[in-house]
A and B are shown apart, each in its own frame.
Chain A
Amino acid sequence: MNKRSLTFSCILFVLVSVTHAQTYDTRRLYFGVDVLRTFPLTFSRGFVFEPSLIYKTKDHTIIDLAVGFNDIRKDELYSNVAYANTGRYYRLGVGKFLLKSRKKFNEFNLQACLIYSDFKETGTITFEGDNYGDLVEVRTQRNKLFIVELQPNYWLPISDRISVNFQVRINYIVTNPDEKDFPVYYVPGVGNVQAWGNRDGIPNSRRVTEGISIRLVYKFLEL
């Protein structure tokens, strides 16, 4: 069994083995917007916009569909590289309520997601030449990656319609990225994938990453 199928099997096993929750009276549709991703924690400027549509069945199965857009800049990625990343991503997730009985403040869920991320990275390398002028070189690489995500999350109800969804995200990049010019730094839908340490060697990107996110959710329909 290869790594990819093992990862899928593990996620499926966790989902199937989750205890059945108490049912809702209705099915619900929510609209969500991620609020943490757009904070410039791993970049200097730009934006990440991730709206999502969430459907909850009566037995508390969650279907979560998100689309994300990003255009971010980091002025000094390495000592002489200005970095830009433009792209989009799609995330489809299926989740289940984790506890046996559903009460107001115990809405812990576990979701498995598949992410498709399509992005272009540009590194503008500048060498300063005091006498003859600067040498500027632009390197561009494009990647289309599949990522699997395991996402434990918690829904905190603020009112009858509004909730805050706290997420812990563990990602595994399934597709081999193209890193011919420089190591992949940021994968839209995943975040920073730069390896820790190794500052004196050529850095490489990580296949497994972890992160947190916060999403504001609005219930707009009950069926």
Chain B
Amino acid sequence: MKYKLTRGLLSVIFISCLFTYSGCVDECELDSEPTVFIYFSTQKYYRSVYGLHGKEKPDNQSADYQYSVPLSIKDDSTIVIFESDVRNDTLTIHYSRTVEMQSARCGFRIYFDDFEIVKPTTFTQASVSSTLDYSQELYVNINE
């Protein structure tokens, strides 16, 4: 009886530890460029969707409802270019950045805020979430 109780207790402790560590997000890993996910209300075909002045320029993308692009940490805005065979679209996201110390372990971190869609933007029905979520992701919805 006593042996079973000890075994049960140890199992509970082990499982708790497993859940605790598997659910952890290393806060220090959040220093890289955040990602903006752009959702369309209808399926769109763009050959290439990329950030202006960025290194990554994916080609031959398939038609989709969703595209993703990294957000610039260097500037206060990121211009997203949507290239297709018939036309090019542009989306500009503006934001503020503040560099503040987070902790001795993580050092400094960039805090983003005040996201808004500004000109030049060719979409008329675009909206952006006001802040990044916990995993450094931003969401844009386009209803056209």
- Residues of chain A touching chain B, judged by Cβ–Cβ distance below 8 Å, are 77-81, 125, 127-135, 137, 182, 198-203
Whether B73 pairs with A135 at a CB distance below 8 angstroms is yes
Q: How large is the interface on B (under 10, 10 to 19, 20 to 34, 35 or more residues)?
A: 20 to 34
Question: Contact flags (1/0) for B102-124 with A, using CB distance below 8 Å?
Answer: 11111110100000000000000
Distance in Å from the Cβ of B37 to the closest Cβ of chain A? Answer: 15
Other A-B pairs, 5, CB within 8 Å; known A132-B33, A198-B104: A127-B32, A127-B110, A128-B32, A132-B72, A203-B103
Whether A132 pairs with B53 at a CB distance below 8 angstroms is yes
Instruction: List the A side residues contacting B31 at CB < 8 Å.
Output: 80, 127-128
Q: A131-B56, A132-B75, A133-B74 are in contact. Are A125 and B104 (CB under 8 A)?
A: no
Whether A79 pairs with B106 at a CB distance below 8 angstroms is yes
Jot down 19 A-B pairs with beta carbons below 8 A, ordered by A. Answer: A77-B107, A78-B106, A79-B105, A80-B107, A125-B99, A127-B32, A129-B72, A130-B32, A130-B70, A131-B33, A131-B51, A132-B54, A132-B72, A133-B74, A134-B74, A182-B101, A199-B104, A200-B103, A203-B104
Complex Cα gap A219–B55 (Å): 65
Which residues in window 18-70 of B have CB below 8 A to A?
28, 31-33, 51, 53-56, 70
Secondary structure call for the A interface: loop
Instruction: List the A side residues contacting B110 at CB < 8 Å.
Output: 127, 135
Residue of B nearest to A76 (CB): B107
Distance in Å from the Cβ of A196 to the closest Cβ of chain B? Answer: 10
Distance in Å from the Cβ of B46 to the closest Cβ of chain A? Answer: 18
Whether B101 pairs with A129 at a CB distance below 8 angstroms is no
Residue of B nearest to A197 (CB): B104
Instruction: List the B side residues contacting A199 at CB < 8 Å.
Output: 103-105
Whether B105 pairs with A130 at a CB distance below 8 angstroms is no
Instruction: List the A side residues contacting B53 at CB < 8 Å.
Output: 132
B70 touches which of A127, A132, A134, A203 (Cβ 8 Å): A132
Whether A135 pairs with B74 at a CB distance below 8 angstroms is yes
Instruction: List the A side residues contacting B75 at CB < 8 Å.
Output: 132
Instruction: List the A side residues contacting B70 at CB < 8 Å.
Output: 130-132
